[in-house]
């Protein structure tokens, strides 16, 4: 990787960090230039507009999360434990308690949001379909589940958890919301064996 390519990647990575911690709306190109100790003109030689940079930074974050989820799935954990491990990984890397990045991306950059949301649906759908089938095979989930419907309901609900109009951060703790939804989801699909696994996981995590 040459120096220009390295700088290009560094700008994307730093922008992604700032957007996640402060929000897409509030971070300016001047803020990014100051953080990186480079000129704004240098940034504009790599990205013609802030929207262009938002798109690249969002894709960078998406790919980072997707790679992590793929690595977790490769471990073939218990299906219920897998849901908790993936949830931990996603929220540790997004750190979105204050800025609510997904909600801001939808509000201020809808075209970028909708493109990424389609890719997110495909990734989540594949992950949850596999998780449900494994859970049924292990008799942790009910055998009569409408798998395709449950997978789509799961995506719909985790997407809705980010909606600041329904769950504003100043009122609802994002961590508590996510754990409440996981409990809700698993109890709705689990067998008695699955409920016992869930109970043990929650005890270990002090939930």
Q: Catalogue all structural domains in the chain, each as residue range(s) with its CATH number.
A: 51-204 (1.10.357.10)
Quickly state the pLDDT bin for 98 (edges 50, 70, 90). low
Q: How many helices (H) and strands (E) does the chain have?
A: 10, 0
Query: Is the pLDDT assigned to residue 99 strictly greater than 80?
Result: no
54's CB contacts (< 8 A; 6+ apart) are 15, 19, 24, 105, 109, 112
Cα–Cα distance measured from residue 133 to residue 164, given in angstroms and rounded to the nearest whole number: 32
Cα–Cα distance measured from residue 98 to residue 141, given in angstroms and rounded to the nearest whole number: 35
pLDDT, mean of residues 148-165: 92
Give the rounded distance of the alpha carbon of 128 from its chain centre: 14
Q: Are 31 and 18 in contact (CB under 8 A)?
A: yes
81's CB contacts (< 8 A; 6+ apart) are 197, 201
Q: What is the pLDDT of residues 61-77, one digit of tens each?
A: 999 999 999 999 999 99
Q: Pick the residue with more confidence: 160 or 125?
A: 125
pLDDT for 91:
85
Phi-psi label, residue 108: left if phi above 0, alpha if psi -120 to 50, beta otherwise: alpha
Length of the chain: 207
Tally of CB atoms within 10 A around 132: 22
Quickly state the pLDDT bin for 102 (edges 50, 70, 90). confident
């Amino acid at each position: 990787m040459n120096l220009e390519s390295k700088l290009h990647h560094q700008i994307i990575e730093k922008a992604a960090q700032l957007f996640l911690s402060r929000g897409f709306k509030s971070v300016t190109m001047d803020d990014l230039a100051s953080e990186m100790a480079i000129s704004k003109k240098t940034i504009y030689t790599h990205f013609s507009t802030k929207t262009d940079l938002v798109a690249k930074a969002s894709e960078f974050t998406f790919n980072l999360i997707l790679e992590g989820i793929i690595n977790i799935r490769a471990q073939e954990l218990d299906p219920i434990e897998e849901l908790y491990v993936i949830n931990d990984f996603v929220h540790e890397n997004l750190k979105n308690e204050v800025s609510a990045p997904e909600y801001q991306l939808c509000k201020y950059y809808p075209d970028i949001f909708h493109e990424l949301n389609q890719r997110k649906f495909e990734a989540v759908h594949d992950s949850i379909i596999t998780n449900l089938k494994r859970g049924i095979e292990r008799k942790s989930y009910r055998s009569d589940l409408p798998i395709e419907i449950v997978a789509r309901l799961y995506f719909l609900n985790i997407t809705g958890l980010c909606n600041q109009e329904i769950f504003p951060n100043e009122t609802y703790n994002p961590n508590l919301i996510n754990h409440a939804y996981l409990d809700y989801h698993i109890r709705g699909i689990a067998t008695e064996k699955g409920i016992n696994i869930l109970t043990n996981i929650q005890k270990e995590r002090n939930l």
